[in-house]
Amino acid sequence: MSTAFTNIAARSTSWTVLGLLAGLYAAQSVTGSMVQTALPVVLRDAGMPLDQIGYLAVLFLPWALKFLWAPLIDRFLSERTWILLCQLDIILCFLAATALPPQTRMAALACVLLVMGIFAATQDVATDSLAVRASDEDSRGLASGASTAGAYLGFLIGGGLWLVVYQHAGWAVSMASMAGFVCLLTIPVFLSGGLAGPPANSVSTGRRIGFRMTVKNHTLMRGLVFLVVYQVGLRMGSSLTGPYLVDKGIALDTIGLLRGAGGAVAGLVAASLGALVVQAAGIVRSIVIAALLNALLLAALAGVEFAGSVSPTVAVGILLLQVGAVAFSFVALYAAMMNWCNPDQTATDFAALQSIDAILAIAASSIAGVLGKSFGYGWLFCVSAAFILAAILIAPRMLAAPAQGRRPTVPEKVLES
């Protein structure tokens, strides 16, 4: 009987952790999705050129530089403390942004969004560290799936419903509603005392925490080669989908519903299915399947553009499928990234990987803007698909399984109160 109760308690704890991870990733993705997807739609509707919209990805810079302060999360305080502090600051930034509409106060708004991005990126580092420590190699697919599903919930709010609120209630109300959303998702974390024990540090492990250890992690460095090639293609192919819909003549509130409700539903379903596929088929095989799907869908979008006579409805349908393929891809890729991390410095290693990914996003978005303006969307989608196919070719070598026994299981104290 005691064994049965222990198993029930363990399953309950696991679902609690997965639910909290989903909520935390939802909160942090509100900021990124608004800057990366919703704000470009608003500015394109106001007449801003594609190449200038592409440069707005610079506001994503905190995610690219978060590796600089990630070792602090490994060394000091607990993940829960870092998360609560960052959530409070994000709420305050959203409230400050209510007085800064982009049409007239873009410079001041950019500064506030940049500061908010720093807090969101720091929360991301702490949450990533918690996700790695609260899972083992057998459950990474589920943890990654919960995280990705939460991110798409945030995308639903920040990249979709936010546009609808903005369209009908104005800038100030839309920013205040985002502050309220983050506040609601902070309450469960505030009530969950003892969510995680203090992170591993150099005193307890006897090892140095820092980027020198990251560079010496051969499994991580091989995976990084694949990450660069693959994400360049994926980010280029996805970065201008909002302006693409505007140029197809679709209204802002319709884009909000398509990219918000439609995109979030597609992402949530794909993330859930992706978690099951990763658990059943393995991480590397799942990454290759996801890459093939993304390459095929980007090639289909290129075909739509080159055909010239295909209705916007067909293009929208392909884009929704691609949203699902991207979500599936993130589940598999993030599960792999968790396995690449050194358990003694999970925040540092995962932040380094995601910072490189963010740098790729900035570069790919800027390049996509230039390619889209100079050669059209068709060639942009073709080039993106080509990069993804190249990544598939190098996947077997770069994503080879690490040596047995390299990575111990997660410490039992992760969930102790």
Domain annotation for the chain: domains and CATH numbers: 10-199+208-401 (1.20.1250.20)
149 class by beta-carbon count within 10 Å (0-12 exposed, 13-18 middle, 19+ buried):
buried
Total Cβ atoms within 10 A of residue 191: 8
What is the reported pLDDT for 89?
A: 92
**What letter represents residue 375's amino acid?**
F
What is the reported pLDDT for 356?
A: 82
Measured distance CA(144)–CA(135) in Å, rounded: 10
Measured distance CA(388)–CA(373) in Å, rounded: 22
pTM for the model stands at 0.67
Q: What are 82's two structure tokens?
A: 């870092």
Segment-wise mean pLDDT, segments of 10 residues, the chain, 417 residues: 36 61 78 75 71 70 82 82 89 91 78 87 84 72 78 75 81 87 79 53 54 79 86 83 75 68 75 82 87 89 77 76 84 85 80 80 81 81 89 83 45 36
The DSSP H or E segment spanning 181 is: helix 171-191
User: Is 137 strand, coil or helix?
Assistant: coil
What is the reported pLDDT for 406?
A: 44
| C-alpha dihedral (295, 297, 302, 305), degrees to nearest 10 | -170
H/E/C letters for each residue in 37-48?
HHHHHHHHHCCC
Place of tokens 């990705």: 148
What is the reported pLDDT for 402?
A: 54
| Contact in structure between 117 and 31 (CB atoms under 8 Å) | yes
Nearest alpha-carbon partner for 24 in 140, 99, 130, 167 = 130
Counting Cα atoms < 13 Å in the Cβ hemisphere of 56 gives 29
Buried b (16+ CB within 10 A) or exposed e, 369-387: bebbbeeebbebbbbbbeb
What is the reported pLDDT for 403?
A: 47
Contact partners, residue 234, CB within 8 Å, separation at least 6: 294, 326, 329, 384, 387, 388
